Amino acid sequence: MDNSLSNRDQLVNWHPYTQMQTAPPPIGIARGQGAVLYAEDGKEYIDAVSSWWVNIHGHAHPHIAARVSEQLSTLEHVIFAGFTHAPAVELSERLLRLLPQNQSRVFYSDNGSTAVEVALKMALQYWFNQGKDKTKIIALEGSYHGDTFGAMSVSERSVFTRPFQQYLFDVEFLPVPVPGNEEASYEHLETLLTRQDIAAFVFEPLVLGTAGMVMYSPAVLDKLMELCRKNGVLIIADEVMTGFGRTGKRFACDYLTQQPDLMCFSKGLTGGTMALGVTTCSQEIFASFLSEDKTRAFFHGHSYTANPVACAASLASLDLVENDLFLENLDRISGSHAVFAQSLSGKPGIKACRQTGTILAIEFEVGQTTYFHSLRDQLYTLALENGVLLRPLGNIVYVLPPYCITQTQLEKVYQVMEQMRQLVAGSF
């Protein structure tokens, strides 16, 4: 009898973003260490996507493990309505010191999608509490903000949202200001802002992740944000993916002159240890909910709001984020990506190379770019066979490695991507 994790899993589990009828059996992972995952059959895989972009310091990091273990023996959880605890207070204090100066308050939730959901609700109720009829949200075309209904509403309408279309609220979508499209995006926003019902503009700063690591400049984002500010529209920066070093700085908003009113975080927040979401806001946003009238309060919460263990993991992660080695690794990986991207430029099979900080994306020339391109499975399998976990977005392959990845490991990832290029060049 096959008693492997893979076989047992197929009898009981339903996996995300997976067509369960046709998907190959899942790989059973026994443990992780640094940038490497160790399968139950003894095979090793370099985790070049940080397990869906969360694991920024590497697997089983001893400092995070020690802090979590200590917290578990002190306080595992307490209701966060009417009570508080040291890990939550300390984490909020430390986060606010790192974020743009106008960020004043921290609201805890449990993942990236709900962090965005919270920001949207805060923005809409901000105007409601003032008796102003501002109910429309602006988002970027191709954006992805999560899988809950509010987050889906401000995301690109696609095959992922099609079954729920009638339940999503209407959003105004702005062309992404990629190079060559900046003016069109700005002019479209100018037109939208002539309306009086625009409540907020939500965006993934500098990099649209699920769209295929689509990238645009800080300068044009500053211009869009400044225009919103002049027209009294709230600004929501979704840093769920870009936060904690992905763009080469601690936060994508560190590249900007303008400051958002609300910010959303998750993924790397706990160093990839466990689920936690955070929405921060300015004092002006927070103050709009203060009243003798209890109905003006923010009615949102989660059973595990500000879970002490998750907060402890985040504090340990911040210890590492604030270490000099963290920035050194960002520079090292960013520089390596840039050199590799340059080496691919103009080669057969390459449509585009995009890079921002530690995020590298290679778009292969195979005709139409689509998430469901048949090439995806070939590339995914090729990488696994060579001991590398890469999860292509159709014909786009991206790398977002843990910052502890060694140069030797990084070079192996690049070698696999070069093999992918050769496969594409020889097949199309």
Active site residues: 17, 144, 238, 267
Q: Which of 296, 295, 277 is nearest to 286 (CA)?
A: 296
Instruction: Specify burial of residue 133 (Cβ count, 10 A radius: 0-12, 13-18, 19+).
Output: exposed
Dihedral, 289, 290, 295, 297 alpha carbons, nearest 10 = 50
User: Rounded to an integer, what distance in angstroms lies between the CA atom of residue 381 and that of residue 377?
Assistant: 6
With tokens 């070939």, the residue in question is 378
Give me the DSSP letters along 15-45.
Answer: -TT--TTTSPPPPPEEEEEBTEEEETTS-EE
Alpha carbon distance 119, 263 (integer Å): 7
Residue 416 one-letter amino acid: V
Residue with tokens 């960013």: 334
User: H or E segment at 64?
Assistant: helix 62-72
Q: What's the rounded Cα separation, in Å, for the pair 204 and 227?
A: 17
Q: Which two tokens stand for residue 22?
A: 């046709």
Round to whole Å and give the CA distance between 329 and 406.
9
Q: Which residue has the tokens 């027209």?
A: 231
Q: Are 239 and 265 in contact (CB under 8 A)?
A: yes
Name the one residue in this structure whose structure tokens are 């002490």: 308
Using left for φ > 0, alpha for ψ between -120 and 50, and beta otherwise, residue 112 falls in: alpha
Q: Which residues contact 144 (CB under 8 A, 6 or more apart)?
A: 155, 156, 204, 208, 209, 210, 211
Alpha helix (H) residue ranges in 193-323: 218-230, 283-287, 308-321
261/258 Cα distance (integer angstroms): 10
